[in-house]
Structure 1
Amino acid sequence: MNLLSKIAAVGVTFVALCGFAASPVAQAPTTLAAGPVVAVPTPASHAASRPPAATPPSAHALTAEDAGAYFDGLLPDAIERGDVAGAVIVIVKDGQVLFERGYGLADIKARKPVDPETTLFRPGSISKTFMWTAVMQQVEAGKIDLDADVNQYLDFKIPPFEGKPVTMRNLMTHSAGFSDAAKDLIVKDPARLKSLETLMKTAIPARIFPPGTTPAYSNYGASLAGYIVQRLSGEPFDAYVAKHIFAPLGMTHSTFTQPLPAGRSANMAKGYRVASQPPGPYELVGESPAGALATSGGDMARFMIAHLQDGEYQGQRILDAKTAELMHSPQFKPVPSLPGMALGFYQEPGNGHRVIGHAGDLNLFHSDMHLYLDDHVGLFISFNSAGAMGATHNIRTTVFRGFTDRYFPAPAAPEAATWKDAKADGHTLSGHYIDSRRSDSGWLRIANFLLGQSKVTADPAGVVTVSSFRGVNNQPKHWREIGPFQYQEVGGESRMAAVVEDGKVVRIMSDDLPPVLSLQPVSSAMSATWNVPLFYLSLAILLIAALTWPLAAFIRWRYGHSFTLTGRPALLYRLTRAVCVVDILFAGLWFWFLSQKDVQWFSSGNDWVIRLIQLVGLVGAVGALAALANVAVVFPDKSRGWWAKVSSVLIAIACVACVWFTLSLHLITWRIAY
């Protein structure tokens, strides 16, 4: 059985709230089985800071009638084939709702349709844009300095990293340098839901990058900003947003409060992994400012209009115009030629139009929001299912690309010539990479370092392939260099670029991905080139040794042979085989732990389970000494055959390899943080 398929259970929780609308690294896209959702060419360039390009004559007029015909022809069949229960879509234009519609069912058992005005969906990390709006209200009030050390707003301390403090601008651009975390991210039992204050003080992630240098998405960092709003305002975060954002905008079907307040549940859509299975429970988000929002399509229309009108909606203002303009402007560009981060929003490729947005994923709900700033158009879509093989990821990608290409198509441009140094640059990029959004402090390194590395290769012509940069057909894209480390998708219009300093790759990014993560070269010590083969080879050796131990005993018993070893050699033989059993048990227990699909499994309440697994691993690590001692005893003994000597060495290597993986993947740690 493929271990990678089992670790996907962790991946579901790990990407919850991440807000990746088109992220093959974070959520591998898959093709809908026989579905209508087809690959729509990615827009040619983001040009996020350029004036919008002139609309080509081939553009469709964005009207309610045309949008209705387009989405009525796309979404009903897409959600049916994708095993998705329901969806809501809202389009706003020039300060008005242009089009809103519900598709499918909010509750399959009750046969309750989706009402775009009243049915509540969970937009996941789109919640952050409300929280960042609250932060900017505090900036506007003079209570927050975007470039000050955030410790001055806290009642505990975030330690500096390499002498640099974390600022609010770092938090808003996901460049604070925090290691990612999945523990207590989503729970089902309200009794296990910790207060925001408790989580912020007890779950400070490790720091892995200097602030302001590296994109690394952080739910903790976003929630820390929400906690600062709570402290400075003197109001609970959910109450603050209700009073200062929901109320002015007339968002009467929205709440951050968890569990869902009385009176709201009647309108709450059920959440499904797939429509053909029973619904799941209401997901309680531990770091609530990062993803706890429940809202309707109609309410999201009001919020989008407010941002498209620089903070104003029907005479009510949630931000001054200058504050809103600052919030929407580029702030951090990890790769200068690709989209970067605004304050809380990420820039998106929009065929030369200025587009910002966010997306959100819980386990059961998946959503996107896109704001075409200079065109005064907003698009929100949300699904109450993940769908078969993650179908909603492809649908969302297709909706955004299709909408952009239909109503804001890119002008025709001549094909750029292949860069003269394509072969040499392809060789420079080749190697193994790891996502900058990762957990470095706990056992999630299994997913990140051992099984989650991306491989970059180049063909003889210099065309580059990145294993994790995939299209909606789930196949890796190919990239042709058109400038110094600037790449165009072969047969498509996505862009990729790398930052290379002194001949060494710093990061690789693509405009298919939001600018909150990048690929970084892996150190030689952690490279999958040798670690993955060593991992599987060691498991095979340990498994063979563990199985042949009782088999050999059975054969001796069956044919009346005696065990020829005595004394210390016999003891070390048995201890070595016992260590093999322990190491296999250790690996098996992690396999079992990672296979759990209950999101509440990855919570503080199960720390004792991890401690027991770690105890088994500790026994195996110490037992490696017995395997080494066995080699020292076997080799001088002339009565032992060549197979005894070879097998003792192989087993010792496998046991030492287990110690290496235990330490390098942080499978045994003093503090249980992940």
Structure 2
Amino acid sequence: MWKVRLLALLMTALALPAAAQSPADLKPTPPAQVPAASEAPASAPAPASTLTKADVDTWLDGYMPYALQTGDIAGAVVVVVKDGQVLTQRGFGYADVKEKKPVDPAGTLFRPGSISKLFTWTAVMQQVQAGKLDLDRDVNDYLDYKIPPAFGKPITLRHIMTHTPGFEETAKYLLLTDPKLAKPLGEAMKRWVPTRIYAPGQIPAYSNYGASMAGYIVERVSGEPFAQYIQNHIFTPLGMQHSTFVQPLPANLAGGMSKGYEQASKDPQPFEIIDMSPAGALSATGADMAQFMIAHLAHGGPLLDKATAEQMYANANTPYPGLPAMGLGFYHEDRNGHRIVGHGGDTDVFHSDLHLFIDDGVGLYMSFNSAGREAAAHVLREHVFVDFTDRYFPQPKPELPTAPTAKEHAQVMAGHYVSSRGSETNFMRLFSLLGEAQIVANDDDTITVSALLDAARVPKRWREVGPWLWQDAEGKERLAAVVKDGKVVMFSIGAYAPIIEFVPAPGSLNAGWITPVMAVALGVLALTALSWPVVALVRRRYRYNPGITGRTLILHRATRAAAWLVLVFVLGWGLMLSVINHGVDALDGRLDIWMRLMQLVLLATIAGTVAAAWNAYDIATRGGRRPWTTAWAVLVALSLVFFVWAAINVKLLTATLNF
């Protein structure tokens, strides 16, 4: 559900300024016609393997055990369905490493994370089908609290199901380990309504809050608590007897729950509680997930009528021609000429994917109970999907020529970008600065994107095969850009395009200049702070009295104290980020007091900055000072001013601690 290691937070929880363009302004420049496979030389694919239980099992047996071992992943479940039947369901590794308890696909529960949203979206469409919900009606009509007006447009369920309601990201209380902190769904939703930073329908920005609000709307219009609604209207009709949204787990299911691990070689983590449960609280066995896939592959099965189900799979928002679209809740992952819809999911320790080859009657589900070494589970699940598709649904890959605009467009693309999924009003704006992506134009007219790595953790090279359309070296992924008046508005790759975009970093968040200036400023302030006691000791040792008294002495000391406060502030936030990196459950309010303490330190630093500016002015206007002394005083003052601006700019000083 959430990218919960700090590196992943820096990659995906980045903020954008509230944009002002209308949907028409964001209309992408149409890409040039890319030659079809029949019009360009193509590399012949390997012959398609027959999709049988024997073949899939043999393939998985040669794939999974070694991958789990080398990735330090404790266990996994993989399920394949075909033509309304379970083709195979396999458990690999351990549900409990210490007890050597193997994963049982029929009895071991995993946490599918954001795949839970597919159950929420299905519930919404059931209520649409029943005439109780309208996808294009203001959601405020269904709520017992109000979404504040913004941009002159209401939010609708269609916006929410396409991740275009415009909410900034939320993180506080999303994942808990203490059941006492959990709130009923309605209370969780009303804790804080995130700010709307985009106009509805404008820019896709994945939103857990939006999905949870949809679940709360289902609860209100149905008159049933959300978890009970899913039990009555999805689990029971499908015979999913080992699935629940209840947290902590009911006694009859708790014994089957897999342990969750950061790595198999480390101790297991506590059971994760998702406070906004419709976004990711599901616990389920692989066998039960098979029944959910079978129902949707039957165009809704017993859950939805065919017309309603097809609305979910049809293209509802296409940010880029040439890249997959967003359905209603499902996002497209189309490959090799096949229509594929699905969803991924992450908690802190569980990592999952579900893929439906909607016109082929085939479904693939996998879940891992560990992130693994260097996030190995993320790489593994991507490769399982791609290799499964290429094995059973191969397609010739045309050898596309490099576009004649490659050099020019690579230079236009070069720069710093932030993710549309982020925050503007709280400290998570810091992640935009720390984790933004940089595009570099290479000498061979390709581009590299710092945030898009291959399995070896090396940035991929992207070759332009049509105007504003790039392909990676393996021909397995595409990248596209929306360009207006010769400037990049946003770009993404096929895997992200329906839900997350990258947009040019504004000057106030551009690490290209902020990072080096910050490095110089911190260096100056560190030297100033550390030299203060050293100089004092030397003066005492040699009984030297510089003759500084009165206001001059006060300003001198206040400047040095401000430098020390900066070091305390940086250390304090560094420690808090380290705690968050250990587990996002730390964002359950326990850090609030430390955030407030750091804000007090920052306020004191602001006062010290005023003193430093006064000190620099005093030294510069007072005669008899050496030029070096004046220059250093000015440099220290400027460093403090820049640091204070940067801290306020990334919202490390706020009236509230909502995020």
| TM-score, L = length of structure 2 | 0.93
> Aligned pair 1:380/2:357, yes or no?
no
2:496 corresponds in structure 1 to 513
CA change 1:9–1:630 in 2 (3 A) is: farther
> Aligned pair 1:354/2:375, yes or no?
no
> Aligned pair 1:529/2:533, yes or no?
no
**8 Å CA contact 1:124, 1:292 repeated in 2:** yes
**8 Å CA contact 1:118, 1:267 repeated in 2:** yes
User: Residues of 1 paired with 2:119 and 2:474: CA distance?
Assistant: 38
User: Residues of 2 paired with 1:334 and 1:118: CA distance?
Assistant: 40
Amino acid at match of 1:642: P
- Trace 1:157-176 onto structure 2 (pairs within 5 A): 157-176=146-165
Shift of residue 198 of structure 1? 1.2
Shift of residue 159 of structure 1? 2.0
Shift of residue 525 of structure 1? 3.0
CA change 1:126–1:388 in 2 (3 A) is: same
2:17 corresponds in structure 1 to none
1:564-609 CA deviation, whole Å, 9 max, x = no partner? 2111111110010001111111111111111102433212343222
**8 Å CA contact 2:12, 2:421 repeated in 1:** no
SS in 1 for 2:255: helix
Shift of residue 25 of structure 1? 5.5
Amino acid at match of 1:420: P
> Aligned pair 1:632/2:617, yes or no?
yes
1:185 corresponds in structure 2 to 174
1:334 corresponds in structure 2 to 319
Shift of residue 466 of structure 1? 1.4
Amino acid at match of 1:417: P
Compare 122-131 and 455-464 and name the one that shifted more: 455-464
2:89 corresponds in structure 1 to 100
SS in 1 for 2:269: coil
1:418 corresponds in structure 2 to 402
Amino acid at match of 1:535: M
Match of 1:620 among 591, 598, 605: 605
Shift of residue 671 of structure 1? 1.5
Compare 484-493 and 64-73 and name the one that shifted more: 484-493
Amino acid at match of 1:612: L
SS in 1 for 2:63: helix
Amino acid at match of 1:603: D
Amino acid at match of 1:290: A
- Trace 1:531-550 onto structure 2 (pairs within 5 A): 531-550=514-533
Match of 2:126 among 122, 133, 137: 137
User: Residues of 1 paired with 2:509 and 2:584: CA distance?
Assistant: 29
User: Residues of 2 paired with 1:418 and 1:248: CA distance?
Assistant: 52
**8 Å CA contact 1:25, 1:469 repeated in 2:** no
**8 Å CA contact 2:4, 2:583 repeated in 1:** no
Amino acid at match of 2:654: T
Shift of residue 56 of structure 1? 7.0
**8 Å CA contact 2:116, 2:278 repeated in 1:** yes
1:475-530 CA deviation, whole Å, 9 max, x = no partner? 11111212221112234331111010111211101114352101101112321111
SS in 1 for 2:91: strand
Match of 1:457 among 435, 440, 447: 440
Match of 1:290 among 279, 282, 292: 279
Shift of residue 541 of structure 1? 1.0
**8 Å CA contact 1:546, 1:580 repeated in 2:** yes
> Aligned pair 1:91/2:80, yes or no?
yes
> Aligned pair 1:609/2:598, yes or no?
no
Match of 2:546 among 563, 583, 586: 563
CA change 1:489–1:523 in 2 (3 A) is: same
- Trace 1:155-554 onto structure 2 (pairs within 5 A): 155-312=144-301, 317-413=302-398, 415-448=399-432, 450-513=433-496, 515-554=498-537
SS in 2 for 1:374: coil
**8 Å CA contact 1:25, 1:468 repeated in 2:** no
Shift of residue 388 of structure 1? 1.0
1:41 corresponds in structure 2 to none
**8 Å CA contact 1:89, 1:380 repeated in 2:** yes
1:599 corresponds in structure 2 to 584
User: Residues of 2 paired with 1:8 and 1:291: CA distance?
Assistant: 13
User: Residues of 2 paired with 1:26 and 1:471: CA distance?
Assistant: 21
Amino acid at match of 1:359: G
User: Residues of 1 paired with 2:84 and 2:495: CA distance?
Assistant: 29
1:153-197 CA deviation, whole Å, 9 max, x = no partner? 011111232101111011001011110111111111111112211
SS in 2 for 1:267: coil
**8 Å CA contact 1:229, 1:237 repeated in 2:** yes
User: Residues of 1 paired with 2:451 and 2:585: CA distance?
Assistant: 28
SS in 1 for 2:364: strand
C-alpha root-mean-square deviation of aligned residues, in Å? 1.8
Match of 1:80 among 59, 65, 69: 69
1:641 corresponds in structure 2 to 626
User: Residues of 2 paired with 1:346 and 1:501: CA distance?
Assistant: 26
What are the ranges of 5 or more consecutive residues in structure 2 without an aligned counterpart?
Answer: 15-33, 37-43
2:49 corresponds in structure 1 to 60
**8 Å CA contact 2:179, 2:273 repeated in 1:** yes
Shift of residue 461 of structure 1? 4.5
Match of 2:571 among 588, 595, 598: 588
CA change 1:584–1:469 in 2 (3 A) is: same
SS in 2 for 1:370: strand
**8 Å CA contact 1:9, 1:595 repeated in 2:** no
**8 Å CA contact 1:348, 1:514 repeated in 2:** no
CA change 1:468–1:150 in 2 (3 A) is: same
User: Residues of 2 paired with 1:441 and 1:9: CA distance?
Assistant: 22
**8 Å CA contact 1:435, 1:518 repeated in 2:** yes
**8 Å CA contact 1:383, 1:392 repeated in 2:** yes
User: Residues of 1 paired with 2:207 and 2:275: CA distance?
Assistant: 13
1:32 corresponds in structure 2 to none
Compare 197-206 and 238-247 and name the one that shifted more: 197-206
Amino acid at match of 1:644: T
Shift of residue 207 of structure 1? 0.9
1:50 corresponds in structure 2 to none
CA change 1:307–1:233 in 2 (3 A) is: same
User: Residues of 2 paired with 1:89 and 1:535: CA distance?
Assistant: 47
**8 Å CA contact 2:74, 2:263 repeated in 1:** yes
User: Residues of 2 paired with 1:10 and 1:81: CA distance?
Assistant: 23
Shift of residue 638 of structure 1? 2.5
What are the ranges of 5 or more consecutive residues in structure 1 without an aligned counterpart?
Answer: 1-6, 16-23, 28-44, 48-54
User: Residues of 2 paired with 1:275 and 1:459: CA distance?
Assistant: 39
User: Residues of 1 paired with 2:215 and 2:590: CA distance?
Assistant: 25
1:529-585 CA deviation, whole Å, 9 max, x = no partner? 111111111111111100000000011111221232111111110010001111111
Amino acid at match of 2:414: S
**8 Å CA contact 1:621, 1:658 repeated in 2:** no
CA change 1:310–1:390 in 2 (3 A) is: same
User: Residues of 2 paired with 1:523 and 1:598: CA distance?
Assistant: 30
CA change 1:463–1:403 in 2 (3 A) is: same
1:1-34 CA deviation, whole Å, 9 max, x = no partner? xxxxxx985456x49xxxxxxxx7579xxxxxxx
> Aligned pair 1:578/2:567, yes or no?
no
Shift of residue 642 of structure 1? 2.3
**8 Å CA contact 2:4, 2:584 repeated in 1:** no
Percent sequence identity over aligned pairs: 47
**8 Å CA contact 2:260, 2:269 repeated in 1:** yes
